[in-house]
Structure 1
């Protein structure tokens, strides 16, 4: 059974370097079974029909960030208390922290689980095929050759 793309819009707040305090915005989290290890986060700051910005990052980064701080570089995710999750986005000197209800994030991540499991299975099958083909051809490791006498 093929999983359909998943989209979920979440009410969130954002805090930036330029603006003090938290401001409301809509966040749409998206996941496609064609790229099961990634997710898309669209930020609708101005209320426009199209997102003001879109970030793409690892699905596992968001899943892990529900439990403990994770990430390096441009995207970091961490719990904020027990009920909220923060996603920190950094671009050059600009940054923002998007805060969402942890239950909403957890629900989204759970909906992506089937595709991630399928991807793990496909990778395992491909590796098994490569190993079987290598062994069938009788490839040898030159490091394990007996010494010449």
Structure 2
């Protein structure tokens, strides 16, 4: 029996930015699974469901310091340096959420305790990922 890859979890309250109003609180469950060492999963609780986004751990880390991302997910420091903005763009709409930079940094620090930057390839199981793609047929 092999060793189970570590999983790091955190719950962060994001603020959904809306025009002319105070940001609405949105609970988000962050998860980093060393079995998928390059990615962070974020489940935003919206209404009665959860909207899950998967994006690069490096994107989140880079976005704490400077604008990062050029696709569906963009992360950047806010004007208030204690906050980070996460912009999500999908065919059904877009959202801008803000979170405490320190909370996201703490989560990332814990992921790097489990899988240090640069060691992701040691945890990545290429054969397992390839078999998942083959099963989608």
TM-score under structure 2 normalisation? Answer: 0.76
1:13 deviates by: 0.7
The Cα offsets for residues 74-130 of structure 1, whole Å up to 9 and x where unpaired, read as: 00000112101111000126110111100000001111113144325x28xxxxxxx
1:15 deviates by: 2.5
Q: 1:134 is matched with which residue?
A: none
1:86-105 to 2 correspondence within 5 Å? 86-92=85-91, 94-105=93-104
Change (3 A) 1:89 1:100: same
Q: 1:4 is matched with which residue?
A: 6
Whose strand fraction is larger, Structure 1's or Structure 2's?
Answer: 2
1:11 deviates by: 1.2
CA RMSD, Structure 1 to Structure 2 (Å): 2.1
Unaligned runs of 5+ in 2: 124-137
Q: 1:126 is matched with which residue?
A: none
The Cα offsets for residues 24-59 of structure 1, whole Å up to 9 and x where unpaired, read as: 11011110010111000100122x4x52x0000000
Q: 1:77 is matched with which residue?
A: 75
Q: Is the 8 A contact 1:29 1:41 kept in 2?
A: yes
Q: Is the 8 A contact 1:3 1:115 kept in 2?
A: no
Whose helix fraction is larger, Structure 1's or Structure 2's?
Answer: 1
Q: Is the 8 A contact 2:5 2:35 kept in 1?
A: no
Structure 1 runs (4+) greater than 2 angstroms displaced: none
More relative contact order, 1 or 2 (CA 8 Å, 6+ apart): 2
Q: 1:111 is matched with which residue?
A: 110
Q: Which has the larger radius of gyration?
A: 1
